[in-house]
């Protein structure tokens, strides 16, 4: 991890009707996040989804509502308790 990156934890994942997996990684305080999409093929052939990732600080978006911030913070804490940062999830 460098000074310009932030460790973010997986807080949400969902599949859509196009067979895309949407992953949301958030900071431990739930204030910032990044959304990523992966295809089913990428899930089979690519690197595993991990509990945490290092994200460039300027690539994170702000969470705009308190309810979502609280939910993301709670999920980040839960994920951090159960999994190693580089562990598959």
Note the pLDDT tens digit of each residue in 72-83.
999 999 999 999
Answer yes or no: is 87 within a domain. Answer: no
Answer yes or no: is 23 within a domain. Answer: yes
pLDDT of residue 76: 98
Answer yes or no: is 88 within a domain. Answer: no
Tracing tokens 């910032």 back to the chain, one arrives at 32
- Tokens coding 45: 């052939």
Answer yes or no: is 46 within a domain. Answer: yes
Answer yes or no: is 89 within a domain. Answer: no
Answer yes or no: is 72 within a domain. Answer: yes
pLDDT of residue 23: 96
Answer yes or no: is 67 within a domain. Answer: yes
Contact assessment for residue 72 and residue 10, using Cβ atoms and an 8 Å cutoff: no
Contact assessment for residue 47 and residue 89, using Cβ atoms and an 8 Å cutoff: no
* pTM confidence score: 0.91
What is the rounded distance in angstroms from the CA atom of residue 45 to the CA atom of residue 76?
A: 26
Q: Cα 27–64–17 angle (5° rounding)?
A: 80
Note the pLDDT tens digit of each residue in 9-65.
999 999 888 888 999 999 999 999 999 999 877 778 888 899 999 999 999 999 999
Q: For the chain, what is the domain count?
A: 1
């Amino acid at each position: 991890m460098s000074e310009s990156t932030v460790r973010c934890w997986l807080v949400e994942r969902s599949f859509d009707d196009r067979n895309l997996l949407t992953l949301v990684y958030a900071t431990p305080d739930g204030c910032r996040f990044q959304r990523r999409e992966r295809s089913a093929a990428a899930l089979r052939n690519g690197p595993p989804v991990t509990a945490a990732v290092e994200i460039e600080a300027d690539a994170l978006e702000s969470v705009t509502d308190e309810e979502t911030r609280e939910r993301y913070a709670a999920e980040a804490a839960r994920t951090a308790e159960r999994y190693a940062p580089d562990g598959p999830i």
